[in-house]
Structure 1
Amino acid sequence: MELAIVITVVVVALVFDYTNGFHDAANAIATSVSTRALTPRIALILAAVMNFVGALLGQKVAHTVADTLSIAGDDAEHALTIVLAALLGAIAWNLITWYFGLPSSSSHALIGGLVGAALAAGPDLATVHWQTIVDKVLIPMVASPIVGFCLAFLVMLSIMWIFKSRPAAKVHRSFRGMQTISASALALGHGLQDAQKTMGVIFLALVASGHADPNDDLPLWVIVCAASAISLGTYSGGWRIMRTLGRKIIHLDPARGFSAESVGAAVLYSTAYIWQAPISTTHTITSAIMGAGATKRFSAVRWGVAGNIVTAWVLTFPAAGLAAATAYELIRLLHGLFVNVLGL
């Protein structure tokens, strides 16, 4: 029975990873597609490949995710139920925001799910490490969009000043070619950040079930499976959210697209390797798009759409937590039904 639950958790984690890929595919390619630097199909292939490569480049974020809570080891079946409920809550929020075309954070949905399921289980079964949540999740959650907006604004101002004497058409043509590089860098950062979060949850399940020690390195099969799932999800696309990022916030030109992507990639790399924080690719690139776009004039950004996105950001952590807590109670209810009524 326990092995069946472990397999179920791993499969559901990879399903989450897949939804993360198609939910966040727009992060890496929306700007390049909207500026016509890349065709949608080429952009998706490029993003899928770079997501896979990025997922192989580190483990620090994965261990941070696994360290967000401790699960009592004397009841492995119950511990795995907590992880399963967290994943189901995160998947539910991903699908809701995907349906409405809102670029919310899969990262914070996952961590919100872990916290919600742990709180529903109670302190005797799971302990939330709030200091880790604050230092590695909440502070970066607030800081990364602010940094993304400000840096993209400054980078675009610098580009405008450097190329002010050159014809706009020639500048746009040059940056349209450079966007292939910046989009690749962003997709690499997305794989580096987001695939590791799924690796962390699978590792947490393995530790809870006694199949791994907390000090072990991530098993190779976990890394490859997570990298493959997010890559396949990315290739399947996320057209609803792509329209929001690429067109509804602001009409981007190639120079602004390059600025947003470059800044987004830089923030992802620095937080993954220096801060070891699981930040949101969505938050970072969306705020960078706003910052680069605001250099036209602040009124050029559709702040009403931006406000809807911010609302989804704020709701993600508690909403995913509530969904996970609900999933936990339903799983326990069904488990009790099978055991007490059906005798299974």
Structure 2
Amino acid sequence: MSQDTTSSQPVLVLDHAATAAALAAASAALTDALGRALTAIARGEASSPPRIAARAPHGLLGAMPGYVPGLGLAAKLITVFGDPDRPGRSTHRGLVAHFDEHDGRLLALLDAEPLTAARTAATATLAFHTIARSDAARIAVIGTGTQAAAQLALLTPEETASATVAGRDPVRVRALAERFGATPAASIEAAVRAADVVLCCTGAREPVVRRAWLAPGTHVGSVGGSDGPELDAETIRDAALFAEWPGAAGSPPPAGAHELQSVPADRVTLLGAVLDGTVPGRAVPDGTELTVFKSTGHAALDVAAASVAHATARDLGLGITLEL
């Protein structure tokens, strides 16, 4: 008897608020799933082609399918367009489709914007907790948009109390710092010079952090720079480099990082290999080593976040169910 391929299947649909609420309620589970995904990348167990994008005159549509054993299959479609109301900033809009890894059923549709913000911030946080010096206490968050807010939301109360916020717009800097109980910085340079950990969350087209501002032993996390380098060449030259996947250096943008295009692949350590214990994080025992985690995003991380959001939303009764 032939299979009925026209029968509908229940699909959980999570809008912006429901996606954000599900991930906010499961921060520990999200961190654990992201660690599993990063380790799977390092072991060659995850499957994902390099990101592709169709470019329009004012932006792009990116596609990122991926598979992580035990977490599922997912595909993200996301647009990145300049925001005419906020020159120099961009919008990220789209969806993530989450599938069962065993039979291919579509399980959920999620809003890509809060999912991307949450998994990116959680990955950068996991990186600095893994790589930064154990005595690192002063954190500078560079940026005032959605990603910077997502990053501040993941800091512990102790970390937030010693954190500074810096950006181009003093009004937005003060507002974001006040929202999270951090301290507004007089300038990006001042924030970076005083920090043990610098977390860059900008839409920069050119470097916002300079090597001369970084003290010995600083850890830098960079999750922005879709349209250009967020860090200068001297910082990349002098730092021990970490990334989510090998193609961060070996693939051209938008899959790879602008900052890593001229970097030999053997200079880049996979974060998952550090989490797995295969390689060390900091290699210089005196704590003076400069470290950089350069994030480009990876579909395996979307799989991890979608899996957690789907499971949590079902438990909490979030979203609506449709027959598709």
Q: Tell me the TM-score normalized by structure 2.
A: 0.28
Q: Which has the higher contact order (CA 8 A, sep 6+)?
A: 1
Q: Give the structure with higher Rg (CA).
A: 1
